[in-house]
Structure 1
């Protein structure tokens, strides 16, 4: 009986307060990630099949259901650019930890998708363990020599495993709209591998999720997969121009597909 009273009280407080609703919904998201990660890690350990991108399939399926809980709708354009067996580097703008809900809309484990993240993510409990067991790629931001070695290893894996490697080129979350300057690591990987870059743009979350104003509500996000950008024949000397070209094209799509920015209180 007490549980039902507490549940009704929480729902009432969420109804009258956007701030409480924000923290309850985000807390539910973090809890869901923890549960999904734990189940994923246990399943991989039981089946004894570590370090395979196919292990992501339960996590991808489970995360895909959360959009119904939050009332988030995804409109995806250009998905066909990723629905093949060809290796590539997938660049995605990074707005929030909630980006995972959008990624699963384009993530198909049978095409050997994986993701690149900072090494510190490995130590985030069951989430880090699950990512490691599912063959996510971790780079050391603070040790340049080690990072270069790790990127060279990624280049080898891209061809041997025919990977589609997802990277957030901004390097960190950006809650302020548009896009931060791009790091060059993903472009070095693409050029060294001589595989195409597929830019993917998520429209702004601002009208439905805003950390500063404590907004977390239903809405629609437009995901646009742009045509592959070839890197065949390019060298490291072409990378600065490549970075500017890809970033400008992604910003243009972001501006065209995003709703007007929510005004701050």
Structure 2
């Protein structure tokens, strides 16, 4: 038995050193394993303290995921973080490239403030990870039921001022691995306009040089995170949403292109 274990270990080390594909799946597998462990500990802690639906429950997850970047050799250079370091309600828009975006979000997420994230409803059924997000006051929108999605967004609007929430949203609605950004969905803008709270656009530079699912690349490197100045929604109505959405997306695409120039020009 020991001999089999040693042979498997030697083969795994050789494959890790020589195969990009094996190395990619090994690293991503570790990421999923760590997420599961963190989620399990978070759920157990919430049950022990009897404090469900509190954003403060994210504290352990924030600390743990923040350390994970050192394992992968990912360095984050963050600009404009001061726009988020206050107790004011905000809607924070972030471009979405991978499930690994969580590592970058931990650079911005501060347990001292009430932060939550909006995700698709299917995430709630992703085992212990979905349960942990739900118990930490995550928001899940049902994109296949418009009436229910509107009801869920209205619930966020009702709480955003009373809890001074910072609501993190991926406005593209899904991961974009092809560079630049997909068209934005209106949900986050409806929340911001109805709440009359500022929007802070946040741009992660391209992962292409250090991470690619298609090319099976997963290596160390630097990512630039740029928090743009808050965009006021005071006095705006739902009729202003298309222009607001277009303007913010243009500024985020420009920032993405500028900060990602080292890995080639995009859109």
> Normalized against structure 2, the TM-score is what?
0.96
Deviation, structure 1 residue 160: 1.1
- 1:172 is aligned to 174
Runs (4+) of structure 1 moved beyond 6 Å? none
Separation in structure 2 between the aligned mates of residue 230 and residue 11 of structure 1, nearest angstrom: 53
Partner Cα distance (2:142, 2:123) in 1:
10
For residues 155-178 of structure 1, give each alpha carbon's deviation from its aligned partner in whole angstroms, at most 9, with x where no partner exists: 011111100000000000000000
Q: Distance in 2 between matches of 1:5 and 1:164?
A: 50
1:29-83 per-residue CA deviation (whole Å, 9 max, x = no partner) reads: 1111111101101110111000000000100110111101100000000000000
* From 207, 217, 220, the counterpart of 1:218: 220
Match of 1:260 among 242, 263, 266: 263
Quote the offset at 1:260 in angstroms.
Answer: 1.9
Which residue does the alignment assign to 1:112? 114
Contact 1:209 1:215 in 2 (8 A): yes
What runs of 5+ residues in structure 1 fail to find an aligned partner? none
The aligned length equals 262
Structure 2 unaligned residues grouped into runs of 5+? none
In the alignment, is residue 9 of structure 1 matched against residue 11 of structure 2?
yes
* CA deviation string 1:3-52 (max 9, x = no partner): 45533432221110111100100111111111110110111011100000
Alpha-carbon spacing, 1:7–1:65, altered in 2? closer, same or farther (3 Å): farther
Q: RMSD between aligned alpha carbons?
A: 1.2
Deviations 1:132-182 (A, max 9, x none): 000001111000001111110000111111000000000000000000000
Partner residue, 1:244: 246
1:187-198 pair list within 5 angstroms: 187-198=189-200
Could you tell me how far apart the structure 1 residues matched to 2:138 and 2:13 are? 37
Q: 1:252 is paired with a residue of what secondary structure?
A: helix
Cα deviation, 1:105-153, whole Å, max 9, x if unaligned, reads 0100111111000111111000000000000011110000011111100
Alignment partner of 2:112: what SS? helix
Inter-CA distance 115–4: structure 2 relative to 1 (3 Å threshold): farther
